[in-house]
Amino acid sequence: MPKREYDVIIVGAGLGGLVCGALLAKWGLKVAVLDKNKQPGGKQIGVSVSGFKGEMWPTYGIPKEASPFGDAFKQLGIESKLDLIPGSNTLMYRQPKGKWVATVNPAGKQEMDATLNMFNAWQLSQKETELAMKVLAEMVLMTPEQLDALNDVSVRQWVAQQGDLPRPLFSFLAVQSNLMATGLYELVAIWELAKIMQIFGGSTNAYPRGGYFKLVNDIVDALKANGGELRLKSRVEKILVEDGCVVGVGTREEVFKAPIVVSNAGIQPTVLKLVGEEHFDKAYVNYVKGIVPSLGFCCQRYIFREPVMEHGVYVGTSADSYIDVKRHEEMRAGIIPPVVSMYAVNPAHFDPEMAPKGKQMLAIGTWCRPDPKAKEIKALQKTVDEQFEEMFPREAKYIEAKEGYVGPAQVSALSRDSVLPGLGGEAVGLAVSVGYCGRSKPSVKGPIAGLFYVGHDAGGAGYLGTHQAVSSGVRTAPVIRLFHEERTMFGK
């Protein structure tokens, strides 16, 4: 068996792993990134079919002003490659009598008018509007110190302190917990949600020219330009540990030696499968087993023969479309809510190169349980199809093809191995809820010398999934460099 030696091996070429690897390579470390898939990017794998390009799941929302992507590209010296295009987005709200009302946010900074329009769509009274304004303002205007104090408070607990909220506002916060924090409002920390809303509300949100996949490729190029290696179709079967220290990884054919292994494979698969329980204390294993997953996402693509979808992003909700703990349980029993929260991105709206001229592709979907064995996925996707027709009766007639129906099983195959029952198909990763985010976020430093985690599970700080992964890459890399320097200094 040939042996290869590196300073750092990164397991998994998701955005966290790639950013971390590229930065370490740029700082002079000998880096290899290994991934089981044919393409890099993890969950943000690119889709390219008959002239259409895009993501497998609707993804949007890179702040133009400041974002982990911006940080990463700047530090890698490829800032000029990040071309962010703002677009218009539409919030669609189904009123109790079944009428869908749209609130359009034009491209650019979020305006107060849009919020007021949203309240109109909710049919709030003057008094309710005032209360809603007050509650949202409170979230958006929280100081960092106030936010920090809310690490351990769930959205539900916080809402309970705000008095008697109008039903649509309560639903909005419950829905946002699903949408933005990819969790359940009883568990998601208000810290996460408020932080997301602050960033989202205070910035110009955009889509990258060429799609997220182009960003993945840019980072891969930076990795390679700095001497790093990317090895695809290389599934790591074991992280090797000797004497309580990491010594490398083994694929089916080869051993790659390195005193530092950074796992982008998810904290649970890393501990329970790649390293193995026997190398950890019992309490740590119990802790790792108990970390709460995010929700999953299931979706499909619509191909339009004419560019009938006017906006870049569509969000569809109702006062009753959120998933809470009870609904989550009901979904397991196959009960689908009458209206689902729906999310869709139209890449060609931002970058016309993303679709053949005169055509459009819409990635659309809804939230689900993260269980790769979830049986209700088909029913959910059918609900999305039906709901789209109800929301867009005119546009639906232009759909040429519906394809790419995927859910937790495909997410898990692409990214996180399922090592615990019901887990693996998380849309973003673990750790979005009280006890697992903010200052309680799992440490990037594993309890084994030389083992680090990168990605959404560890090291990142509040904001949407992909961003937490990129942020984790940016934050973890210096910790690893320091560890590398410590080792070099002591001649180990």
Partner 1 sequence: MKLANKENYDVIVVGAGPGGVTCAALLAKKGLDVLVLDKNERVGGKQMTASIKGYKGELWPTGGLPVKGGAWLEAFRALGIESKFRVRVKDMGNLYRRSGGEWLRTVTRMDPYELPDPNINFDMWEFNAKERELAMQILAEIALMPPERIGAFDDTTVREYLEQYEAVPPRFYGYFAFLTHAFNVGLIDLVPMSEVIKAFQRLMGQPLGYPMGGYGRMSEDFAQVAKDYGSEIKSRTRVERILIEDGRAAGVITKDAVYRAPIVVSNAGLQPTVLKLVGEQHFDKSYVSYVKGLLPSNGFTGCHWVLKEPVLEHGLYQISGDDAWWDLDRQDEVKKGKMPADLIITVLVPTNYDPEMGPKGKQLLVFGTPCSPNPADKTIEALWKKTDQQMAEMFPEIVPVVESKGPYSGPVQVSAQSRDQVLPAQGGEACGLCVTIGQCGKYKPSAKSPIAGLFYVGFDAGSTAFMGSQQAVDSGLKVAPLVYHYHLEKRQSASF
Rounded Cα gap, residues 32 and 233, in angstroms: 13
Q: Is 285 in the site for partner 1 (CB under 8 A)?
A: yes
Amino acid (1-letter code) at residue 176: Q
Q: Is 433 in the site for partner 1 (CB under 8 A)?
A: yes
Q: Is 337 in the site for partner 1 (CB under 8 A)?
A: no
Q: Which residues from 120-159 bind partner 1, rule CB under 8 A?
A: 154
Rounded Cα gap, residues 203 and 111, in angstroms: 10
- Of 7 and 371, the one with the shorter C-beta distance to partner 1 is 371
- Contact segment (CB under 8 A) with partner 1 among 30-38, 67-75, 182-190, 205-213 equals 182-190
Compose the 359-398 pattern: x for residues touching partner 1 by CB under 8 A, - for all others.
----------x-x---------------------------
Contact 258, 9 (CB under 8 A): yes
Exactly one of 10, 220, 434, 474 binds partner 1 (CB under 8 A); that residue is 434
Exactly one of 145, 163, 242, 283 binds partner 1 (CB under 8 A); that residue is 283
Exactly one of 139, 246, 292, 414 binds partner 1 (CB under 8 A); that residue is 292
Exactly one of 64, 257, 279, 328 binds partner 1 (CB under 8 A); that residue is 328
Q: Is 483 in the site for partner 1 (CB under 8 A)?
A: no
Exactly one of 420, 449, 461, 479 binds partner 1 (CB under 8 A); that residue is 420
Q: Is 274 in the site for partner 1 (CB under 8 A)?
A: no
- Contact segment (CB under 8 A) with partner 1 among 35-43, 254-262, 433-441, 468-476 equals 433-441
Q: Is 20 in the site for partner 1 (CB under 8 A)?
A: no
Q: Give me the least distance between CB of 161 and partner 1, in Å please.
A: 13
Residues that bind partner 1 (CB under 8 A): 154, 184, 186-187, 281-283, 285-287, 289-290, 292-293, 325, 328-329, 332, 369, 371, 420-423, 433-435
